[in-house]
Amino acid sequence: MSDNQLANKSQAWSALFSEPMSELVKRYTASVFFDKRLWKADIEGSLAHAEMLAAQGILSAEDHAAIQRGMAQIREEIEDGRFEWKLDLEDVHLNIEARLTELVGLAGKRLHTGRSRNDQVATDVRLWLRGEIDEIAQLLNALQLALVDVAEKNAETILPGFTHLQVAQPVAFGHHLLAYVEMFARDAERMADVRRRVNRLPLGAAALAGTSYPLDRERVARSLGMEAVCQNSLDAVSDRDFAIEFSAAAALVMVHVSRLSEELILWMSQSFGFIDLADRFCTGSSIMPQKKNPDVPELARGKSGRVVGHLMGLITLMKGQPLAYNKDNQEDKEPLFDTVDTLKDTLRIFAEMAAGITVKPEAMERAAMRGYATATDLADYLVKKGLPFRDAHEVVAHAVKTAIAQARDLSALSLDELKAFDARIEADVFEVLSLRGSLNARNILGGTAPNQVRAQVARHRARLA
């Protein structure tokens, strides 16, 4: 055997080539050091494939048993850290296949009957991602429950609600937090929907055209707990829309995390002083000893850009590819893996951080008092007295203008002063102008009244149980 043949012996396509792959190309094209995390999915998919081959009479019972023994040993070696991942073998699939052949001989070579690395990798990624989605669903539940706990304790805590970052109307702090619970609930729904399309079997599509072997693809799908079989062999091996769709759902989760992060950062600042975060989620300054910086929310806000960037990268990766499989698709894994890792770490830390939020209700209430947050309540009061809303809006605007000039809250104006703006105003207006009265008045489904907040808390607890 020549030196070139010896150098090429490890490659699955070696017989065709007259010279070995250069070291530079080998490093450039290899994926084993990031796609080795697919090893469990690769073994699971291979075992299901082998079982089907044996059932179809394509693989002997002896070879099937040998493959099962070999895969059990490989699993043990990987779990114990004894498995040798080789760059020469390019990816996780060839590394496992080569080791299997070392252990069981020809049976290891027969395992690849009726499949290609094209449908093998598509299957592995789908199996792996399905498991990650299941973990993400649990983490989304944990974060929602942490926010629900804080919301329940603050069903009556008054927070200034903002529009345009201007004080608008008083809301319950618990109501505000439940808005994020709604967002994360929709995120969980999207993940469940994505999972259904991820959970389809490409195996059996082979390289691109199917195979001449009498495979039972539905049997493999059942063995792997997959809900359907990819119906077109070209599509099965070439598209990564399931990964793009997952990345889009993940990007939306991170956008919601980023919005919550922005509010936590604002609320913790001295200008607001509404909350405090536990020390373990913050850092100090190397020069300013008084500083307590909300590093975790700030970093999560930054990491949202990272995940959105991965989504854009995957879309760009796919947009120019002709059918069927192209080597471009090797580039789907690192952004997908990093998206999963970033999302899981973020959700895990946010659930713990949210549970430890210290609320400062006095600061929140003082801020609500500064912004004439009950002005709309006064307008509604006048409407109930028979004044058209547009006219009521104008009357209250004059009242607010006067109160601003005197640096007084609307509730601090006397009854006579208020009646000067409209004679319909009576003594009962002061309940309307109170922050608590404003909160309680919004006793409608989806409103901020404390009993509505508690009802929503109960609904979420039942949903998340």
pLDDT tens digits along 111-153: 999 999 999 999 999 999 999 999 999 999 999 999 999 999 9
- The question of whether 164 is a catalytic residue gets the answer yes
Same domain, 327 and 294: yes
196 and 285 belong to one structural domain: yes
* In a domain? residue 16: no
Q: Is the pLDDT of residue 10 over 90?
A: no
pLDDT band of 17, cuts 50, 70, 90: confident
Active-site hit among 2, 18, 22, 164: 164
Q: What average pLDDT score do residues 261-290 get?
A: 93
Instruction: Establish if 158 belongs to a structural domain.
Output: no
Does residue 14 have an active-site annotation? no
Whether residue 276 is contained in a domain is answered as: yes
Task: Work out the pLDDT band at 2, boundaries 50, 70, 90.
Answer: very low
Give the pLDDT band (50/70/90) at residue 7: very low
Would the pLDDT of 369 be above 80? yes
Write the CA distances from 343 to 33, 73, 141, 256, 265, integer angstroms: 21, 33, 14, 12, 20
Q: Which of 24-28, 355-359, 385-389, 456-460 has the lowest average pLDDT?
A: 24-28
The answer to the question of residue 7 being in a domain is no
Q: Is residue 283 part of a domain?
A: yes
Whether the predicted pLDDT of 174 surpasses 70 = yes
Instruction: Please tell me whether residues 178 and 253 are part of one structural domain.
Output: yes
Confidence (pLDDT) at 448: 98
Report the percent of the chain where pLDDT is more than 70: 97
The per-residue pLDDT for range 62-102, each reduced to its tens digit, is 999 999 999 999 999 999 999 999 999 999 999 999 999 99
At 196-246, the pLDDT tens digits run 999 999 999 999 999 999 999 999 999 999 999 999 999 999 999 999 999
Locus of tokens 């394509």: 58
Residues 185 and 66 in one domain: no
Helices (H), 288-414: 295-319, 333-355, 361-370, 375-384, 389-405
Domain final residue, candidates 365, 398, 423? 365
Q: Among candidates 237, 250, 355, which has minimal Cα distance to 313?
A: 250
Same-domain pairing of 63 and 127: no
262 in the same domain as 245: yes
Q: Are residues 429 and 380 in the same domain?
A: yes
C-beta separation of 410 from 374 below 8 A? yes
Among 365, 383, 416, the domain boundary falls at 365
- Residue 26's pLDDT band, with cuts at 50, 70 and 90, is confident
Quick one: average pLDDT of 158-167? Answer: 95
Do 64 and 180 fall within a single domain? no
Count of the separate structural domains present in the chain? 3
Residue 8 pLDDT more than 50? no
Q: CA 112 → CA 45, 49, 278, 334, 415, distances in Å?
A: 11, 9, 54, 25, 88
- pLDDT value of position 269: 96
In a domain, 93, yes or no: yes
Return the percentage of the chain with pLDDT > 90, whole number: 91
User: Does a structural domain hold residue 66?
Assistant: yes
- pLDDT at position 290, please? 83
Here the CATH number for the domain that contains residue 406 is 1.10.40.30
Q: What is the mean pLDDT of residues 40-47?
A: 98
The enclosing domain of 91 has a CATH number of 1.10.275.10
Number of H helices, E strands in the chain: 21, 6
Q: Give the domain-ending residue among 338, 365, 392.
A: 365
- The residue among 230, 195, 30, 27 whose CA lies nearest residue 122 is 230
Residues 412 and 346 in one domain: no
Position 5 scores a pLDDT of 41
Is residue 174 located within the same domain as residue 300? yes
In a domain, 2, yes or no: no
| pLDDT score of 12 | 62
How far is CA 36 from each of CA 65, 93, 207, 316, rounded to the nearest angstrom?
Answer: 25, 8, 21, 24
Alpha helix segments (H runs only) across 154-199? 173-198
How much is the mean pLDDT over the chain? 94
Alpha-carbon gap, residue 104 to 61, rounded angstroms: 14
Same domain, 298 and 398: no
Please determine, for residue 333, whether its predicted confidence score (pLDDT) is greater than 60. yes
Rounded average pLDDT over 371-378: 92
Say yes or no: 260 and 193 in one domain. yes
Per-residue pLDDT tens for 376-395?
Answer: 999 999 999 999 999 999 99
CATH number at residue 331: 1.20.200.10
Give the closest residue to 203 by CA, choosing from 184, 226, 181, 180: 226
Domain with 181 in it: 118-150+169-212+222-365
CA 44 to each of CA 49, 67, 200, 220, 424: distance values in angstroms, whole numbers, following the listed order = 9, 12, 15, 11, 76
